[in-house]
Structure 1
């Protein structure tokens, strides 16, 4: 209920029961202040489902948060370091690399806990070994998709040098390139995963089988801004937890799909399949957003695998500030 309507209903009662001074104080009380969080996204889609839910039900607003989503492709970590974004969402290596290079940013919440990707190919390619000498589209030269595809290729005795990589940060662009015949294979996640399936393209396998329990996406924050807005960041983490709990309730499936369709402008069928895959089958959204030590070990191994980190690994605190998700749990 808006503040104006609140005043219209109880104001007569306040005047009669408490007198003019109390009435004046009630009318003068400011509304809940909203602080804008400028959030960079690679692209709108299922990974931001918890934020769309919190927007839909007014939970962000209740917490004093106004989300301003900006599509930045692969530029989130760079813009975060420069201060033009407050938070950004992408694969964890983007923010880990920046933090290890001294940028003023860290991961503050880990949301999708494992790979949602499949590797889809042109007709005629039947097995992973057939990718030798082929053009494969992944997210970037030091991207989370490289961490996932290396063991996928290795399962058939292939090295990354046995294929020709081309890069496109958004899965939608990789899917388009595959459909157009510009590449032989693309690594895809929902909703492009289901789109590729609907087109009859062959999925050579889901990468989570070959790279288990390595987190996918995270939220990073500009740490100077986050330190000045600690309560707001804790509230952001708290609304995330609330939204994921709601998302996992099967009774909310139809509403959850509708929210994704409207907020991310997704196809209804694709959204339903994304729910079945990400929520029902794999349960990929972290309940608390934290990074346990065992998970960090997996993350660090992944960073080493693509040349970003070396043993001995830096402490978890070098790339992850868990204080916000931990405060949200209290």
Structure 2
């Protein structure tokens, strides 16, 4: 399985940073000029881009008048910096990133970004704590080095809290920054660190390669709002029709993915966008990302209880200390409500 994992990783990385799986409209839509124009969406590599793949392949984006261009990122520091500079329109990102930068607690030296806002939910981020083959329990992590994307944003606080709930204090382990999911999985394979949080399908690749999945994050910390569609309030205000169109198409894609009769075509779309993903890996990915209880959030709804978990974690671990309690400061439901009419 090691050869398969590495070849898949190379293919996924290429897809993420060259075309991100969406390079051109389907033939049936090729001659159409989008009524609303282009929307550039910045993403981390991962199976959670599946709704975007489907929305493009099935023509949902085109039907709502937009042409979506997926743009890859290597980590939250680059992504949030580029968002602040308007280098893309929408970010599919952890809502914790949005909270952090609104509060001026982000790792990138760009200051507070009150213009950042989430406009749609997507998923819990499908996070699992994955460790080296010889690490079989939380206690085995004592004295070891673990990796995160950034120390103060993203999923770092999820990792800290999972460890704390199992009796590990900050002095019991070391943390290094390694970048996004692709980079952290590569570092784990190279034995640079012994454990990290990985999303589907990287956790599946890790299991297939002999690594141990210690726990699923939501099983330890409870409801969690992970990935969201986020943008700048100023851009959204000027481009409401594009935001609404994106949400509608994305929601239609999630609905389509959950329809059992689309199972085979859904896997075919995933494998078309990630050509070296094996049928077995794609089938397992389907089972995790479309689990009725733990998969993509139905209708792209925001999990408000999950946002409260994010705020509680940031209140507990972020510095300078702030008590954060109001989800509405970081999520504007106006566009989602308009899309669902």
Structure 1 length as normaliser, TM-score? 0.84
> Tell me, what secondary structure is at the counterpart of 1:161?
helix
- Does the 8 Å CA contact 2:314/2:324 hold for their aligned counterparts? no
- Cα 1:54/1:193, change in 2 over 3 Å: same
Residues 126 and 204, structure 1, Cα contact 8 Å, conserved in 2: yes
User: For the residues of structure 2 that align with 1:107 and 1:3, how far apart are their CA atoms?
Assistant: 31
- Give the whole-Å Cα distance in 1 for the aligned partners of 2:33 and 2:207: 49
Q: CA–CA distance in 1 between the matches of 2:263 and 2:276?
A: 15
Of 59, 68, 80, the match for 1:77:
80
SS in 1 for 2:299: coil
CA distance in 2, matches of 1:2, 1:199: 40
User: Does the CA-based 8 Å contact 2:96-2:154 persist in structure 1?
Assistant: yes
Determine whether 1:196 maps to 2:206.
Answer: yes
Over aligned residues, Cα RMSD in angstroms? Answer: 2.3
* Higher gyration radius (CA): 1
Aligned to 2:52: 51
Map 1:159-198; keep pairs closer than 5 Å.
159-198=169-208
Bigger mean CA offset, 103-112 vs 288-297: 288-297
| Cα offset, 1:156, TM superposition | 2.7
Distance 1:31 1:115 in 2: 34
Residue 133 of structure 1 is aligned with which of 129, 135, 143? 143
Aligned residue for 1:226, secondary structure, equals helix
Aligned twin of 2:310? 299
Whether 1:255 and 2:265 are equivalent positions in the alignment is yes
5+ residue gaps, structure 1 = 5-29
Note closer, same or farther for the CA distance 1:158–1:282 as it changes in structure 2 (3 Å cut): same
Structure 2 counterpart of 1:320, from 325, 328, 331? 331
1:117 aligns with 2:165: no
Structure 2 residue aligned with 1:27:
none
Give a deviation string over 1:247-296, Cα, whole Å, max 9, x none: 11122111111111222445133222111112136442122333354333
* Corresponding position of 2:229: 219
**Consecutive unaligned residues in structure 2, runs of 5 or more:** 1-27, 105-111
Cα pair 1:115 1:212 within 8 Å, conserved: no
Give the total of aligned pairs.
303
Larger displacement relative to structure 2 (310-319 or 99-108): 310-319
Contact 1:100-1:318 at 8 Å conserved across structures: no
With over 3 angstroms needed to count, the CA separation of the structure-2 counterparts of 1:292 and 1:136, relative to structure 1, is closer
